[in-house]
Chain A
């Protein structure tokens, strides 16, 4: 939860700082960088859908790519995890709020398992966040398909033959599932590996450096992939005018 708010604040501050003192012949470095991001997103959107529709979705694309990229990077520098002590009885409370109930503590300690609370991790390392993003995007895709392209949208379920109906329904169901799971699994697996490499203490420092670099790369790729798949799904649902 803390990570989510931090990610939102960072993206908002970045965007607001970039548009202060806009200037055409003397742009600041941040303005230059943001203009490059806008152009990159615009090219991405334009590669998926016809040009006259592309302008409307650049804002959506920019929000998605910046938020997901910043969220993916947040868990890399450090993670704060506290463990519940072996002889702790009763519920785990924080500032008066009960975090883990007494029964769960007893059950876990009886089986010899460790209970740990993660105070800081990437927001996207949580299935709830990525599922929220995926569901929002898919609801948007279907809404755009129904409002802009009603006849073709409903007709595409039985294209090319009526026998394809279950396959098309499965396709529509698997889109939000794979969108959410792809982002979650990539970032979560990266974080688990970071904590695994930490177990090697000082021997694993070069390996940790390599893995952090790779995680930054993976975070950028996953953000870009989410954006471009969103645009492709939107164009599949809402743009059907180029009939043969």
Chain B
């Protein structure tokens, strides 16, 4: 049962992270294509956005590890 819980935690977290990061980077690429001179600023903001969005899925991965190795 714990293995199922770990798989669910990691899987759903990965789904959220994938969709979120995809949206962020696609908007960044769009912004760079519109204004190439803002490339540095937009890249920095993209990394900050990815860091903020990935917090909860990564917490989910740690919970998955706890369940998996604690089983």
Inter-chain contacts of A225 with B (CB < 8 A): 47-48, 51-52
Give per-residue flags for B23-60: 1 if the beta carbon is below 8 A from chain A beta carbons, else 0: 00000000000000000000010011001101100110
Q: How large is the interface on B (under 10, 10 to 19, 20 to 34, 35 or more residues)?
A: 10 to 19
User: In the complex the two chains form, is B59's CB within 8 Å of A185's CB?
Assistant: yes
Q: Give CA–CA (A225, B52) in the complex, Å.
A: 9
Give per-residue flags for A178-220: 1 if the beta carbon is below 8 A from chain B beta carbons, else 0: 1001101110110010000000000000000000000000000
Q: Give CA–CA (A178, B55) in the complex, Å.
A: 7
Q: Chain B's nearest CB lies how many Å from the CB of A133?
A: 15
Q: Is B62 an interface residue (CB 8 A)?
A: yes
Q: Chain B's nearest CB lies how many Å from the CB of A13?
A: 29
A221 and B61 in contact (CB under 8 A), knowing A178-B55, A182-B55?
A: no
User: In the complex the two chains form, is B65's CB within 8 Å of A189's CB?
Assistant: yes
* Residues of chain A whose beta carbon lies under 8 Å from any beta carbon of chain B: 47, 178, 181-182, 184-186, 188-189, 192, 221-222, 224-225, 228-229
* Residues of chain B whose beta carbon lies under 8 Å from any beta carbon of chain A: 44, 47-48, 51-52, 54-55, 58-59, 61-62, 65
